[in-house]
């Protein structure tokens, strides 16, 4: 093989790629925030006394964990309008990613909650807190710190999943990479740079998360 590397074309559009990366991050942050809310509610639902509620939460988790995210993205974007639900492509993608991450985070939070000593909740109750405030002030904050590493991994995977937004033409990194690929034919350079951008972004996120974990860790 003889291939002349020429990064000039990719370099010229580097700022566009960077903006795409930024959009991906924003999408991931918004989605995980909504996903956390969904996950928290469903995690408590999974531990509910009522069978029907547990069952409903289990079905949600099972369905969204086992269905390809691409199918979900296409479904939300192309099929939901038939129900009269018309979302822009970015909104539609955020909805999909939130719902999808909600399923994964439910599992994360559920296992975090069951790993807490039962006495924690009881101690909250004995100082006169209601069940709800005990959750808000005690169980959830303690659980959150325990699941932080898992939450971080989920965020990184979610960030990588934002590459799929390209399929519905959301202008994130992969979308621009494909565009530059087609326009310049600098195939290797384009994909090398794009993947390196993802890889580096992921390691930076991982490093930030590790620092946050240490900062939030409960002193021992």
Partner 1 sequence: MTIPVLEITNLHKKFGEVEVLKGIDLTMQSGNVVSLIGSSGSGKTTLLRCVNLLEDYEDGVVAVEGEQIGYKQHKGRRIRLKEREIARQRAMTGMAFQHFNLFPHMSAIHNVMLGLIKTRKTPKDEAYAAAEGWLDRVGMKNWKDHYPGQLSGGQQQRVAIARAIAMNPVLMLFDEVTSALDPELVSEVLAVVKDLASDGMTMLLVTHEMQFAHDVSDTVVFMQDGRIGEQGPPEQLFHNPKSERLAAFLKNSKF
Partner 2 sequence: MDIMQALDAIWSARWPLLDGFGNTILISAVSILLGTPLGVGVGLILSYGNRVLRFIVRLYSDFLRGTPVFVLILACFYILSIVGIQLSAFQAGVFALTLFCSSHVGEIVQGALKTIPKGQTEAAKSVGLTFFGTFFSVLLPQALRMILPTWVTTATEIVKASTLLSVIGVVELLLATQQVISRTYLSLELYFFAGLVFFLINFAIEKAGRFVERKVSLPN
Tell me which residues touch partner 1 (CB under 8 A): 117, 119-120, 122-133, 137-138, 141-142, 145, 218-220
Looking only at residues 187 through 206 of this chain, which bind partner 2 when binding is defined by CB under 8 A?
Answer: 187-188, 191-192, 194-195, 198-200, 202-203
d(CA 155, CA 17) in angstroms, rounded, equals 21
Alpha helical stretches, state H, the chain: 8-12, 14-46, 51-66, 69-74, 89-114, 118-126, 131-134, 140-161, 173-184, 187-216
Is the CB of 83 or the CB of 132 nearer to partner 1? 132
According to CB under 8 A, which one of 11, 33, 67, 137 is a site residue for partner 2? 67
d(CA 86, CA 153) in angstroms, rounded, equals 32
Question: Which pairs count as long-range contacts for 176-184, CB under 8 Å and 24+ apart, including other chains?
Answer: 176/13, 176/16, 176/17, 176/19, 176/20, 177/17, 177/20, 180/9, 180/10, 180/13, 180/16, 180/17, 184/9, 184/10
59 binds, among partner 2, partner 1, none (CB under 5 to 8 A by kind): none
d(CA 108, CA 199) in angstroms, rounded, equals 24
According to CB under 8 A, which one of 71, 136, 216, 217 is a site residue for partner 2? 71
Q: Is 128 left (phi over 0), alpha (psi -120 to 50) or beta?
A: left
Q: Is 27 left (phi over 0), alpha (psi -120 to 50) or beta?
A: alpha
Is the CB of 65 or the CB of 133 nearer to partner 1? 133
Is the CB of 83 or the CB of 132 nearer to partner 2? 83
Is the CB of 8 or the CB of 136 nearer to partner 1? 136
Please report whether residue 92 would count as binding partner 2 according to CB under 8 A.
no
| Window contacting partner 2 (CB under 8 A); options: 42-50, 128-136, 143-151, 175-183 | 175-183
| Window contacting partner 2 (CB under 8 A); options: 35-43, 119-127, 129-137, 174-182 | 174-182
Is the CB of 21 or the CB of 138 nearer to partner 2? 21
For residues 128 and 120, the answer to whether their CB atoms sit within 8 Å is: no
Please report whether residue 218 would count as binding partner 2 according to CB under 8 A.
no
Is the CB of 120 or the CB of 188 nearer to partner 2? 188
Binding site for partner 2 (CB under 8 A): 1, 3, 62-63, 65-72, 74-75, 78-80, 82-83, 160-164, 166-167, 174, 177-178, 181, 187-188, 191-192, 194-195, 198-200, 202-203
């Amino acid at each position: 093989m003889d291939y002349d590397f020429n990064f000039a074309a990719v370099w010229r559009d580097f700022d566009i790629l960077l903006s795409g990366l930024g959009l991906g991050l924003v999408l991931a942050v918004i989605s995980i925030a909504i996903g956390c809310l969904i996950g928290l509610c469903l995690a408590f639902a999974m531990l509910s006394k009522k069978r029907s509620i547990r069952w409903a939460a289990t079905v949600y988790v099972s369905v969204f964990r086992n269905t390809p995210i691409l199918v979900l993205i296409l479904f939300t974007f192309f099929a939901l309008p038939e129900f009269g639900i018309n979302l822009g492509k970015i909104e539609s993608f955020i909805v999909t990613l939130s719902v999808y991450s909600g399923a994964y985070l439910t599992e994360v939070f559920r296992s975090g909650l069951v790993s807490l000593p039962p006495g924690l909740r009881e101690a909250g109750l004995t100082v006169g807190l209601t069940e709800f405030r005990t959750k808000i002030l005690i169980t959830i904050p303690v659980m959150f710190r325990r699941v932080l590493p898992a939450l971080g991994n989920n965020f990184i995977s979610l960030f990588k999943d934002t590459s799929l937004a390209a399929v519905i033409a959301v202008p994130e990194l992969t979308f621009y990479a494909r565009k530059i690929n087609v326009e310049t034919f600098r195939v290797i350079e384009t994909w090398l740079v794009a993947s390196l951008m993802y890889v580096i972004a992921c390691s930076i996120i991982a490093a930030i998360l590790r620092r946050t974990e240490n900062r939030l860790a409960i002193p021992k």
